[in-house]
Amino acid sequence: MKTDTAHDRFEVRITVDPSDIDQFGHVNNSVYLRWVQEAAIAHWLAVAQAADQESLFWVVVRHEID
C-alpha cells in the first residue's frame, strides 16, 4: 500500500488468487467489490488521524463496477 501525496493517489497491490477466477476465466465482480472495500479500509487506516479513527466511522454509500 502506498500513498502519493503529490498526486493524491492511494494504491493497494492486489494479488489475484486462482479462487478469484470464475467459470468464464475472469475475476468475478464480487471479488472486484471485495477489493474495493479492502482498498477503502486500507485508505482510511493510512490517512485518517488516530483521533478520527477512534471517534468517527465511515460507510461506503455506493460502489459501481462497469
pTM, two decimals, is: 0.74
50 lies in a domain?
A: yes
Range of the domain at 27: 2-55
**Residue-wise pLDDT tens digits, 7-36:** 678 899 999 999 999 999 999 988 988 998
Buried b (16+ CB within 10 A) or exposed e, 36-47: eeeebeebeeee
Residue with cell 454509500: 61
Q: Total structural domains in the chain?
A: 1
35 lies in a domain?
A: yes
pLDDT, residue 59, reads 85
65 lies in a domain?
A: no
**Residue-wise pLDDT tens digits, 30-59:** 898 899 899 999 999 999 999 999 999 888
